[in-house]
Amino acid sequence: MDLKQVSLTLHEMKIEAKHYKIYKPFGMLSQFHSNAPKEKHKKQFLGELYDFPEGVMPVGRLDEKSEGLLLLTTDGELSYQLNNSGVEKEYWAQLDGSITTEAIDRLSKGVAIGLNGAIYSTKPCEAKILKHEPKLPEASKKLRIGRHRPSSWISIILTEGKFRQVRKMTAAVGFPTLRLIRSRIGTIYLNDLSPGQVEQIIIHSDSF
């Protein structure tokens, strides 16, 4: 095979990359397997949702107790770019208590959270109170959200993705997160996907 044929083959491989968006359910890990014996039998993994092609990988992660939009791709270069480009990610968070405008202002300017045993100051972000509760599937009963306790919903848009960042940020201003859903990555939205649903998508160069 000559150099021209190799170049063509690589070009064809790039075109054939497959991309998916899913609604990661509450209680599922953002990975396909685990080497820990206990996790293999007690945890849920992405491979249970769909017959994904070989080489597919999640772009970023959502922790086990978070839900919503997760992108998967067979394009390693795209995955690297999205994880390192500061693309916007929007989250809807249901908080314990009625959050104040002062707390929203603090979130927007950045707060100090614990990260890897040190103190980290989060970057400025967009945060606002949602006037109406988002239309979402029923929350998992494992969340034990009190019906008789006041709660509030916020939208928060980050350009970074530290471990459990949203949860740590809302706790830092006195309003722990009860339920967390990622609704958008760049221009790709969760829309009306149901928990566990998988949709193959086309990703354009201007999607992020």
Q: How far is CA 192 from CA 64, 69, 93, 167, 207, in A?
A: 21, 11, 17, 24, 19
DSSP secondary structure of the chain: --HHHHHHHHHHHHHT--EEEEEEPTTB-SSS--S-HHHHHHSB-GGGT--PPTT-EEES---TT-EEEEEEES-HHHHHHHHTTT--EEEEEEEES---HHHHHHHHH--EEEETTEEEEPPP-EEEE-SS----PPPPGGG---TTS-EEEEEEEES---TTHHHHHHHHTT--EEEEEEEEETTEE-TTPPTT-EEEE---TT--
pLDDT single digits (tens) 18-54: 999 999 999 999 999 887 777 767 899 999 999 999 9
Helix axes 165-172, 101-109, angle to 10 degrees: 130
Distant-in-sequence, close-in-space partners of 80: CB < 8 Å, separation ≥ 6: none
Provide the pLDDT for residue 148.
Answer: 65
Query: Which residue in the list 63, 96, 192, 206 is annotated as catalytic?
Result: 63
Active site residue 63: yes
pLDDT single digits (tens) 121-165: 999 999 999 999 999 999 998 887 877 679 999 999 999 999 999
The answer to whether residues 92 and 167 touch, using CB atoms and an 8 Å cutoff, is no
Query: What's the pLDDT band for 85 if we cut at 50, 70, 90?
Result: confident
The answer to whether residues 104 and 127 touch, using CB atoms and an 8 Å cutoff, is yes
- List the one residue out of 169, 191, 79 whose CA is nearest residue 125: 169
The answer to whether residues 152 and 94 touch, using CB atoms and an 8 Å cutoff, is yes
Query: What's the pLDDT band for 87 if we cut at 50, 70, 90?
Result: very high
> What is the percent of the chain where pLDDT is above 90?
74
